[in-house]
Chains A and B, each alone.
Chain A
């Protein structure tokens, strides 16, 4: 019985993660401005904050990053590396700080988005791949992306909180 329940939870997570990556790709195609957002990153941070399980957060970040790399044409592992680290750091932050406060979430989302962009770019440049310099290397692009991602993340976090409170 317990095994079925574990499979069910893992299955739900897998479906949720695939959905996030697929929707990121489709929404970016339908709305050009959506490419500034990063749903998988928001998802990694949220699970890191709320699950209280660093190993699961590492796994989630890793899987999301690898799926992003596969569908984006980037060198496999660049986003995986970055999202793994972000998932872990989010889990650590969740244990050290009060991540239910909007101000903490704002700082975390903003810094994690900037860090993700920086790390993926550095890794891309190190292997001289096609996954370098987002938005022509413009730092302004990163800032815009971080700001938009923070706003979206803040809204989604609030929605998820209400939804999970209602269902528990």
Chain B
């Protein structure tokens, strides 16, 4: 059944025109950088991200209760003889187990905080790109916590990305997988430098390396520090595939060191890397 809609009404076209002009204006202002429109994003993120955080925490709580109580209902029925205190103790044990896992993760993050990177802050990932065109995540730390655009973000396993927008209490992080992302890297053993770019998929692509003849699968890349975003020496990823030469360089795929599909807590590096030089794991025993 089709609805009778009079699209010939002038008001409809005016509404469409106004909406299009507003969006086109927003796009062109940002492209030309003539007018600062970041306040709109700051306002929107500060309004929406708290709701996102609330829903995330609620879901986390519900999942926890489900996993630690409802999933045990069947077991409880099978073991009718067990006393209620035992169930309660089991629940407490489960919760403690979760807490231990969480504290282990946080301890790892803390050890990185104390490893000489500089001033850092731990943030919780509360959402992922809702527009499917970007590889971004939302974290629950913003300008008021010291996080600002171009702050590097990492996990104990490796780099995650960089902050591209910050509101007062939340930030949007562009993952290294994003097709517009680029990281200055260094081959861990030969110290040759290059750039690792995001592809928009699950792998990274190595480019502009001095000499790619002796690269092999499994080789590790670390940050070079030359991009002025990531401190030197952080794990980036390992070569997962070496393809045929395309132009000047071989097609080299790099698998990110950090598990970017399961981000929960991340570390934001607050200091600019100018003042920072992280402990390089290969510095003491470089392979010639």
Contacts and interface: CB of A to CB of B under 8 A. Distances in A.
Nearest to A36: B132
Contacts of A109: none
Interface of A: 18, 21-26, 28-30, 32, 35-40, 50, 52-55, 58-59, 61-62, 65-81, 84-85, 88, 91-92, 94-100, 117, 120-121, 123-124, 126-138, 141, 145
B127 A25 contact: yes
A4 to B, nearest CB: 24
Contacts of B5: 52-54, 91-92, 94-95
A107 to B, nearest CB: 15
B27 A77 contact: yes
B93 interface: no
16 contacts: A25-B130, A54-B7, A54-B16, A55-B15, A58-B12, A58-B15, A70-B48, A76-B40, A78-B27, A81-B23, A92-B5, A127-B28, A130-B174, A134-B179, A135-B201, A136-B179
B209 interface: no
B100 interface: no
Nearest to A124: B133
Interface stretch (B52-60, B214-222, B238-246, B278-286): B52-60
B151 interface: no
B178 interface: yes
A2 B92 CA distance: 53
Given A25-B128, A35-B128, A134-B200, A76 B4 contact: no
A143 to B, nearest CB: 14
A75 B131 contact: no
A112 B55 CA distance: 29
B20 interface: yes
Contact of B130 (A68, A117, A126, A138): A68
Interface in B263-288: 263
B interface, size bucket:
35 or more
Contacts of B26: 75-77, 80
A1 B49 CA distance: 33
Contacts of B30: 75-77, 127, 129
Instruction: State the main secondary structure of chain B at its contact with A.
Output: mixed
Given A71-B130, A95-B2, 15 more contacts: A26-B128, A54-B15, A55-B15, A74-B134, A76-B37, A77-B22, A77-B26, A84-B20, A88-B12, A97-B2, A121-B133, A123-B27, A129-B180, A131-B134, A141-B200
B77 to A, nearest CB: 29
A151 B168 CA distance: 38
A24 B136 CA distance: 13
Given A70-B48, A76-B27, A99 B129 contact: no
B41 interface: yes
Contacts of A61: 19
Instruction: State the main secondary structure of chain A at its contact with B.
Output: helix
A82 to B, nearest CB: 9
Interface of B: 1-5, 7, 11-12, 15-16, 19-20, 22-28, 30-31, 37, 40-41, 44-45, 48-49, 51-52, 55-56, 59, 125-134, 136-138, 164-165, 172, 174, 178-180, 199-201, 261, 263
B55 A23 contact: yes
B164 A130 contact: yes
A134 B23 contact: no
Contacts of B164: 73, 130
Q: Most chain-A Cβ atoms within 10 A of its Cβ — which of B27, B28, B132, B200?
A: B132
B52 A74 contact: no
A33 to B, nearest CB: 10
A28 B52 contact: no
Contacts of B51: 18, 22
Given A35-B132, A91-B5, A29 B172 contact: no
